[in-house]
């Protein structure tokens, strides 16, 4: 079974957790897209959906899901989103799709958060996937030097690299840049999260700690639920 089939299984299982009338946070990425499709197919009445990116908003709109914003619906019942890594205690790395800031804002506004993933995303130690860090464009090279100092303090020798696409630097929906830090292994995610947040110019990082209530992992045999 392909990773995409596992993602579909996880997304479909998560869609079953949604009830009529809920305010639902919609994640970003290929796994979250399966959830959005499965949710739309259920045609539940009175939903309001808060997307975490322009891409997800477009997909949800095409599928006829009623959209709202965090401004209009500041309290969300349930958010379902993908992740790049799912570590012990449901500590996550997110931001591979450059949506981490809006994602974290929506997650933090949610009464319950379910992360959905294919089996390969589950790891014993976070850090094999490069940690995305969202940075203000103004003075970003100065901010990158400060990030390098923090990483060095965490025994991470590689400086973070600015994310590039064919057309130039990747911009988030909010117009910021993404730096990716190839950490290798993050031994103290909570301390790293705190230290990165203290850097002026860092808007947010992709460590999602103590936010996920449950993980639904698609496997070759079905799904596995982690709590
Ligand atoms: C976007 C994210 C995604 O949820 C994460 O990158 C996983 O993506 P995919 O489901 O495509 O593997 O954090 O910012």
Distance from residue 66's CA to the centre of ligand 1 (Å): 22
| 108 lies in the same domain as 216 | yes
Is residue 133 within 8 A of residue 202, CB to CB? The reply is yes
Angstrom distance (rounded) from CA 18 to CA 114: 11
| 119 lies in the same domain as 221 | yes
Distance from residue 188's CA to the centre of ligand 1 (Å): 22
Distance from residue 96's CA to the centre of ligand 1 (Å): 5
Catalytically active residues, by annotation: 103
**Nearest to 111, CA basis, from 182, 26, 23, 174:** 23
Distance (Å) of CA 8 to CA 30, 55, 125, 147, 218 = 9, 18, 25, 36, 7
Say which residues have a Cβ less than 8 Å from residue 168's Cβ, sequence separation at least 6.
none
| 195 lies in the same domain as 136 | yes
| 98 lies in the same domain as 112 | yes
Is 143 assigned to a binding site? no
| 100 lies in the same domain as 163 | no
For the chain, give percent helix, strand, coil, nearest 5.
Answer: 30, 25, 40
* 2, 25, 28, 99, best to mutate for ligand 1 pocket (most atoms within 8 Å of CB): 28
pLDDT, tens digit, for every residue of 11-21? 999 999 999 99
pLDDT at residue number 141: 98
Structural domain boundaries enclosing 64? 3-123+209-226
At 195, which helix (H) or strand (E)?
A: helix 189-197
Q: Residues near ligand 1 with C-beta < 6 Å? A: 27-32, 81-84, 94-100, 103
pLDDT at residue number 50: 98
Query: Closest Cα to atom 1, ligand 1: which residue?
Result: 97
pLDDT at residue number 1: 85
| 177 lies in the same domain as 115 | no
Q: How many CB atoms lie within 10 A of CB 169?
A: 12
Is residue 70 within 8 A of residue 105, CB to CB? The reply is yes
> How many domains does the chain divide into?
2
DSSP codes of every residue in 212-223 = -SEEEEE-SSSE
| CATH number for the domain harbouring residue 70 | 3.40.50.1360
| 11 lies in the same domain as 111 | yes
Query: Closest Cα to atom 4, ligand 1: which residue?
Result: 82
pLDDT at residue number 103: 98
| 22 lies in the same domain as 113 | yes
Distance from residue 99's CA to the centre of ligand 1 (Å): 8
Please give the number of the atom of ligand 1 that sits closest to the Cα of 81: 4
| CATH number for the domain harbouring residue 159 | 3.30.70.260
| 66 lies in the same domain as 161 | no
| 71 lies in the same domain as 171 | no
| 104 lies in the same domain as 35 | yes
Low-confidence ranges of the chain (pLDDT < 70): none
| 100 lies in the same domain as 11 | yes
At 202 the three-state DSSP class reads: strand
């Amino acid at each position: 079974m392909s990773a995409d089939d596992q993602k579909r299984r996880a997304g479909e299982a998560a869609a079953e957790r949604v009830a009529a009338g809920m305010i639902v946070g919609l994640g970003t990425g290929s796994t979250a897209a399966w959830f959005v499709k499965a949710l739309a197919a259920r045609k539940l009445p009175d939903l309001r959906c808060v997307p975490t990116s322009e891409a997800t908003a477009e997909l949800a709109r095409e599928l006829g899901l009623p959209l709202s914003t965090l401004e209009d619906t500041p309290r969300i019942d349930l958010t379902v989103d993908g992740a790049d890594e799912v570590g012990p205690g449901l500590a996550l790395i997110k931001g591979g799709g450059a949506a981490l800031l809006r994602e974290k804002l929506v997650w933090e506004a949610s009464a319950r958060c379910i992360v959905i993933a294919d089996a390969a995303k589950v790891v014993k130690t976070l850090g094999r996937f490069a940690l995305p860090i969202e940075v203000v464009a103004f003075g970003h090279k100065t901010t990158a030097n400060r990030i390098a100092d923090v990483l060095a303090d965490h025994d991470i020798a590689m400086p973070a690299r600015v994310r590039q696409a064919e057309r130039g630097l990747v911009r988030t929906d909010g117009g910021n840049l993404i730096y990716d830090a190839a950490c290798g292994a993050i031994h103290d995610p909570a301390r790293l999260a705190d230290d990165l947040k203290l850097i002026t110019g860092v808007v947010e990082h992709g460590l999602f700690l103590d936010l996920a209530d449950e993980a639904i992992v698609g496997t070759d045999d079905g799904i596995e639920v982690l709590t």
